[in-house]
A and B are shown apart, each in its own frame.
Chain A
Amino acid sequence: MSTIAASAGKARGNIQGIKGMLAVRTIGILILTLAAGCAGVEKAPPAPPSKGQSAAKAAPPSVKAPVKVPEGPVPVAKKLEPPLDVEALKTRLRDTHAIGVFTKLALKNQMDDLLEQFRAHYQSGQKTGVASLRQPYDMLVLKVLSLVQDGDPSLARTISGSREAIWAILADPEKFNSVT
């Protein structure tokens, strides 16, 4: 009976020893795993030695956004017609159905009046520029645009796009004399 008790106690001691070894192994594996995980994390390299404040304020590296390339053909409506000159403008206005006869005649009168002012300015031999005529010119262009934009939007776009080209002709005495 005592032999059985002694062997049972021995076996219990062996089991406890095995349990202890397993615990030690488990802890060891955990430590190894932790160490391996930490080994993958590298410290960020130290910043290069700064030369004054500008280096300290250096911007973070920029990430370039991908350039978007428009796909498909450009819409035809957005294509601009070549700029008009004075005569072409008169012809387009004469041919449009957006405005009536009286309006066309009144516009022609006002355009002729403005051209007469330019002519008088150049013939007077004044050395000052024609900047004083820019405002009446702009006013006339705005009137024309407001009249044709509903009935002939294409012509309105062309006139709007030709505004500076026409002014360049009017403001240059040589070009002005060659076209009038």
Chain B
Amino acid sequence: MITPARASALILPLAALFSGPSPAAEDAALLKDLTSVIMLLGMPCGQVVSAKRRADNDYIALCKDGNRYQVFVNAEGRAVAQKK
């Protein structure tokens, strides 16, 4: 006999498992993405340690070496990193 308590005990972990990446994982992915794009654009950075969202596809990235960049997609559809 499955009681409501047992059902919720089964469902809640499964829901947590399949509900998608956690905010922390999303943050880590974003930081990695920003690190990669700054590296691809040939800017010194090392590793992005934090990021602040300004708008859609527009972030301020703080690098481990102290550099700050605005990373965004410009009107021509190019990924740009501007030093701040």
Seen from chain A, the residues whose Cβ lies within 8 Å of a Cβ on chain B are 99-103, 105-107, 109-110, 143, 147
Among B36, B41, B79, the residue within 8 A (CB) of A147 is: B36
Task: Decide if A110 touches B40 in the complex (CB within 8 Å).
Answer: yes
Docked-complex contact B40 and A100, CB < 8 angstroms = no
Given contacts A107-B40, A110-B40, A143-B40, contact A102 B79 (CB under 8 A): yes
Assess whether B78 is interfacial by the CB under 8 Å rule.
Answer: yes
Q: Is the CB of A100 within 8 A of B79?
A: no
Chain A's nearest CB lies how many Å from the CB of B11? 27
Is the CB–CB distance between B30 and A105 below 8 Å? no
* A105 adjacent to B36 (CB under 8 Å): no
Given contacts A99-B33, A100-B36, A143-B40, contact A105 B77 (CB under 8 A): yes
Chain B residues positioned under 8 Å from A147 (CB to CB)? 36, 40
- Is the CB–CB distance between B34 and A109 below 8 Å? no
The answer to the question of B83 belonging to the interface, with a C-beta cut-off of 8 Å to chain A, is no
Other 6 A-B pairs with CB < 8 A, given A102-B71, A106-B78: A100-B29, A100-B36, A105-B73, A105-B77, A105-B79, A147-B36
Contacts A/B (CB < 8 Å), 11 sampled:
A100-B30, A100-B32, A100-B37, A101-B57, A102-B34, A102-B37, A102-B57, A103-B37, A105-B79, A106-B36, A106-B40
